[in-house]
């Protein structure tokens, strides 16, 4: 029997997921993990949100901890379990305080996770970052992937208004077209970062809480068996648990949301993420700009367009393309291999950045998408 399962994520955002599973699952309870405003879908009215924002920060040690032995606990685990259980309440007897503690007792601290998160690729200059993703192997792989999956991609693109090549480029940048989705247990990754990485512990405690709040039978595997990146991101599109709760889609209507093996679910979930964050169909993403001799230095307050093309021209920045003076725009300056590169960015560039806040990431996705689109042609 078909039914709809309503999820509530960050800031009370509703998400409707069409499912065909019986018997009914428990309702997914959302967890707010940060305060960034997100797009409000128009299909369902928002309801009150259950939040773990008040979970007290764990007192993490400065020195790395040794690998955890069976039965040991993470610092801050008991307070976390008590708070999460209280907020989920009687509707989730499988998430009692004792049950949450038992799950966390099975998580293992991984020093390699701490090592990986302290040296992200985004720390490189654009001249070194770009070749990681804009290279023959990644481009040729994307062209082949788009051609192989064109019918399904075009169907998803038509439904959501997100170009097929953008969906493919996200998968290409994130997981090399599904080949590298991560070998860490998601539970280990989130527990390690939630309790042993003070710099971002509140964020990862929120993501851990969200993972434990999702219905256990939503995933194609038991929660304890889920594999992902060192940061706990899952599947071909590398969705964090909060993104899973808000935007993952059971597009093939088989009762599971499988971001590891179901291409319909993978493609539609990425497209849903983009459209709910404000993607504009048939709108520009970014244009290469040049600085006039008297151009004034400009550092944008963020990646969301805060000026327009006219104002950037007044500041001395121009593009080869003829653009509407009133088009919302911003400017980024990157360290290219031949000196500073100026890029005039627009709303869709900002939307790509909701996947990863680095402007280099957004530009790499766009440039890879353009190369894939050109290479795939209409075949």
Beta bridge partners of 345: 286, 330
Long-range CB contact pairs, 52-57, < 8 A, 24+: 52/83, 52/84, 52/87, 52/205, 52/206, 52/209, 53/206, 54/83, 55/79, 55/80, 55/83, 55/84, 55/205, 55/206, 55/209, 56/83, 57/198, 57/201, 57/202, 57/205
Is 174 catalytic? The answer is yes
What whole-number distance in Å separates Cα of residue 270 and Cα of residue 183?
A: 21
Per-residue burial over 46-72, b if 16 or more Cβ lie within 10 Å, else e, is: eeebbbbbebeebebeeeebeebeeee
C-beta of residue 254 within 8 angstroms of C-beta of residue 279: no
Q: What is the C-alpha to C-alpha distance for residues 19 and 255, in angstroms, rounded to an integer?
A: 5
Tell me which of 165, 174, 207, 341 is the catalytic residue: 174
User: How many angstroms separate the CA atoms of 359 and 130, rounded?
Assistant: 11
CB 274 within 8 A of CB 36: no
> Hey, which residues are catalytic here?
174
């Amino acid at each position: 029997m078909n039914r709809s399962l309503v999820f509530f994520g960050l800031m009370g955002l509703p998400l409707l997921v069409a499912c065909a599973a019986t018997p009914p699952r428990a309702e997914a309870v959302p967890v707010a993990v940060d305060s960034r405003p997100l797009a409000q879908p128009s299909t369902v009215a928002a309801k009150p949100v259950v939040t773990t924002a008040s979970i007290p920060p764990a007192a993490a040690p400065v020195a790395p901890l040794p690998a955890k032995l069976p039965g040991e606990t993470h610092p801050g685990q008991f307070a976390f379990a008590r708070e999460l259980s209280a907020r989920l309440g009687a509707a989730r007897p499988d998430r009692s305080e004792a049950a949450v503690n038992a799950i966390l007792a099975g998580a293992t601290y991984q020093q390699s996770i701490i090592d990986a998160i302290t040296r992200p690729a985004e720390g490189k200059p654009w001249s070194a970052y770009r070749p990681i993703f804009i290279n023959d192997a990644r481009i040729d792989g994307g062209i082949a992937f788009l051609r192989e999956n064109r019918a399904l991609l075009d169907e998803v693109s038509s439904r959501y208004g997100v170009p097929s090549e953008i969906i493919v480029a996200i998968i290409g940048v994130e997981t090399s077209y599904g080949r590298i989705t991560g070998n860490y247990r998601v539970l280990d990754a989130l527990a390690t970062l939630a309790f042993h990485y003070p710099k971002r512990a509140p964020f990862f405690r929120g993501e851990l809480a969200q993972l434990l709040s999702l219905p256990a039978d939503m995933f194609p595997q038991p929660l304890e068996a889920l594999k992902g990146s060192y940061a706990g991101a899952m599947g071909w599109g590398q969705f964090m648990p909060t993104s899973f709760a808000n935007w993952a889609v059971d597009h093939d209507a088989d009762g599971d949301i499988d971001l590891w093996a179901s291409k319909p679910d993978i493609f539609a979930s990425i497209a849903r993420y983009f459209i709910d964050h404000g993607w504009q169909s048939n709108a520009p993403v970014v244009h290469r700009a040049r600085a006039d001799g008297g151009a004034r230095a400009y550092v944008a307050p963020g990646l969301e367009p805060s000026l327009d093309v006219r104002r950037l021209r007044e500041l001395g920045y121009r593009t080869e393309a003829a653009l509407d003076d009133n088009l919302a725009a911003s400017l980024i300056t990157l360290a290219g291999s031949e000196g500073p590169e100026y890029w005039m960015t627009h709303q869709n560039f900002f939307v790509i950045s909701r996947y990863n806040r680095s402007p280099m990431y957004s530009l790499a996705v766009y440039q890879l998408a353009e190369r894939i689109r050109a290479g795939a042609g209409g075949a």
